[in-house]
Amino acid sequence: MASTGNGKSKRDTYRHGDLRNALIEAGLELARQGGPEAVVLRAATRQAGVVPNAAYRHFADRGALLHAVSQAAMAHVAHTMEAEQAALPPAEDPAAGARARFRAVGTGYLRFAQEEPGLFRTAFHVPGDMTHAAADTAAGPGGKTPFELLGTALDGLVENGLLPEDRRPGAEFLAWSAVHGLAVLLIDGPLRGLHPTQAHDAGQHVIDMIERGI
């Protein structure tokens, strides 16, 4: 690995080797800092140490790159949600476990929104990706998309008698609306800049409301 001395590194090989992934990774970094608008083709190639038009070997256009980055960001959301569930202490009983897993879905979602607002905005910028996202690109390590994780958690509530079966249909959209709305208010609405502790409390209150109102 030769160095140019200006902080950039040069490839040993003429070929990059894994430019597609490098561009997605660069795009994620741009999105992390500035949201979807910041996913600029030239900036991504710059960061990957490659000439601008090299991107066209791997993506049809800027939109295709942004789409791939958005899917990757969605997978990050799923990962955080899964991690939140995995960190749960062992449940006293199945019903308590189902309830905790449901709440963890919302908590993980909100935690990601607070910790990675740029990625969060990028994940949801490309319309319609959440429910219909290809599972192989938008899923977390567990293989589920955020929307599927929510659905599974709701099923768990029903199975344990915590949610009447006739309330199950459409429940995704009730829960999701409330949590997503709070996320947006925390990111660039009037709740932006709230202390993480307060933000967590607000999240718990919204999840309380959902449990009561669902």
Partner DNA sequence: TGTACATCAGTGAACGCGCGTTCACTGATGTAC
Under the rule (CB under 8 A), what is the footprint of a copy of itself?
Answer: 37, 124-125, 127-128, 130-132, 147, 170, 173-174, 176-185, 188-192, 202, 205-206, 208-214
CB of 54 to a copy of itself, least distance (A): 27
**Which helix H or strand E contains 83, and what residues bound it?**
helix 62-86
Asked whether position 32 contacts DNA by CB under 7 A, the answer is no
H helix intervals, 141-195:
146-159, 171-188
Q: Which does 128 bind (CB under 5 to 8 A by kind): DNA, a copy of itself, none?
A: a copy of itself
CB of 129 to a copy of itself, least distance (A): 8
Asked whether position 57 contacts DNA by CB under 7 A, the answer is yes
Asked whether position 54 contacts DNA by CB under 7 A, the answer is yes
What DSSP string describes 102-126?
HHHHHHHHHHHHHH-HHHHHHHTTS
Asked whether position 58 contacts DNA by CB under 7 A, the answer is yes
Asked whether position 8 contacts DNA by CB under 7 A, the answer is no
Going by C-beta distance under 8 Å and a sequence separation of 6 or more, which residues neighbour residue 188? 117
Burial of 13 (0-12, 13-18, 19+ CB in 10 A): exposed
Q: Which of 28, 41, 133, 163 binds DNA (CB under 7 A)?
A: 41
Which residue's structure tokens are 């029903």?
158
Q: Which does 159 bind (CB under 5 to 8 A by kind): DNA, a copy of itself, none?
A: none
Distance CA 109, CA 180 (A): 8
**Residues at the interface with DNA (CB under 7 A):** 13-17, 19, 40-43, 50-58, 61-63
